[in-house]
Amino acid sequence: MGYSAEHLVIVVDDDPKIRESLENLLKAAGFTAVVFPSAEETLQSGSLAQASCLITDVRMPGIQGLELQRLVKRDYPALPVIVITGHRDDHVKQNALSAGAAYFLYKPFDPKTLLHAIHTGISSSAQGA
């Protein structure tokens, strides 16, 4: 199933290299990608209402990824959230999944795995709508 630019994927990560890499991957896969360096900027942008999927890092300055996930799930319960982190922590993983994350991936991850997670999340969200 192909996805057009109407599928907006938001990436939140404080690492500029990760943001650039994910933006390039998403655009190459046919998504519209919008990247933010912080949860605060994401929340202030107004773009969550149009999003098809949110990808957030766990550890960031200010509002951290799991708190962003909580806020997003409160306001946009059907929006799939994919949580990524470079720190192996099964407790954090369990908390994210228990709070409704569609997927939890440890960096570095295979780009195909991330794209599969996005496709699955969007498909599941569309079926639930």
Residue ranges per domain, the chain?
8-128
Query: What token pair was written down for 99?
Result: 């709070």
Please give the model's pTM, rounded to 2 decimal places.
0.94
| Mean pLDDT for the stretch of residues 1-25 | 86
* Confidence at residue 126, expressed as pLDDT on a 0 to 100 scale: 78
CA–CA distance, 112 with 118 (Å, rounded to integer)? 10
Q: Cβ(86)–Cβ(94) under 8 Å? A: no
Query: What token pair was written down for 56?
Result: 């957030």
The CATH number given to 8-128 is 3.40.50.2300
3-state secondary structure of 108: coil
| Mean pLDDT for the stretch of residues 21-32 | 96
* Confidence at residue 6, expressed as pLDDT on a 0 to 100 scale: 76
Reported confidence tier of residue 128, pLDDT bands at 50, 70, 90: low
